Amino acid sequence: MKRLLTTSLLALLTTATWAQDALPKADAEVRRVDTRANTVTLRHGDIKNLDMPPMTMVFQVKDPAWLQRIKAGDKVRFTADKVGGNYTVMSIEPAEAAAATTAPPAASDAHGHKH
């Protein structure tokens, strides 16, 4: 019985981790950071998994430490989900960091100079 419970718990945790990794990313601009309420106000694009159109709204954050790394005006990429009835940021990163990992390499001319 203990082995079955351990196996079931492991499967549940693996599924939860995979589901979080599978959330689509959305682009946004940070409008306000509230460290007391552990919230961030984002002006965001479409959030496909929530069927949410672009708008500005307040989100809870999964990890309050993230609020120390962002400020109003920052461009970010984030994932969000509904957790306990609240819209919650599940991951967040600077938009330039996200673009750097997905951007194609710069073109070079015949002399090896980048454009």
Structural domains of the chain, count: 1
Three-state DSSP at 1 gives coil
Residue 80 covered by a domain? yes
What whole-number distance in Å separates Cα of residue 68 and Cα of residue 99?
22
Cβ distance 71 to 92 under 8 Å?
A: no
For residue 45 the two structure tokens come to: 């694009």
Chain segment 6-64, per-residue pLDDT in tens:
444 444 444 444 445 689 999 999 999 999 999 999 999 999 999 999 999 999 999 99
List the domain range (segments joined by +) for residue 83: 23-99
Find, among 81, 77, 64, the residue nearest to 30 by Cα.
77
Residue 10 covered by a domain? no
Tell me the pTM: 0.69
CATH number at residue 38: 2.40.50.320
Residue 37 covered by a domain? yes
Find, among 52, 49, 1, the residue nearest to 22 by Cα.
49
Residue 61 covered by a domain? yes
